[in-house]
Amino acid sequence: MPTPSMEDYIEKIYSLIENKGYARVSDIAEELLVHPSSVTKMVQKLDKDEYLVYEKYRGLILTPKGKTIGKRLLERHALLESFLGIIGVEETRIYEDVEGIEHHLSWNSIDRIGDVVQFFEENPDALAKLQGMQHVTRYPEE
């Protein structure tokens, strides 16, 4: 299994390829807010571990293994964003919160969260009831 850092790269590479058709080292660095040299080192490691194929100065492509994991990671991220939105987390906090928790949950927990999201999507009355229970609480900046 990839490390959390490797997961971040695989997820971002998958997302870039899905959206732009390609992922360059500079694009990855810009998206992840890291130096291109850090991206190059990680891409070389991901190549060695057979998540992608990297040729210096020519770009990279995900292997079938990398595509499968990248898709699952992107789906995990979207599911957690949906879940946090359903339970009333402020929109401006959702992305950062997902980034903070996504690597710390088991796939079993992710599947159960998926069940909760599906339940609320299929039961709008229950969702309305949940939203009616929510009240705005202001917390000091963290």
Binding positions for Mn(2+) are 8, 11, 77, 99, 102-103
Please give the C-alpha separations between residue 129 and each of 18, 62, 87, 93, 117, in angstroms, as whole numbers: 37, 43, 11, 23, 14
Q: Exposed/middle/buried for 86, CB within 10 Å: 0-12, 13-18, 19+?
A: middle
Tokens of 100: 């903070």
Which positions ≥6 away from 131 have C-beta within 8 Å?
88
In angstroms, how far is the first alpha carbon of the chain from the final one? 32
SS (HEC) of 57-87: CCEEEECHHHHHHHHHHHHHHHHHHHHHHHC
List binding-site positions. Answer: 8, 11, 77, 99, 102-103
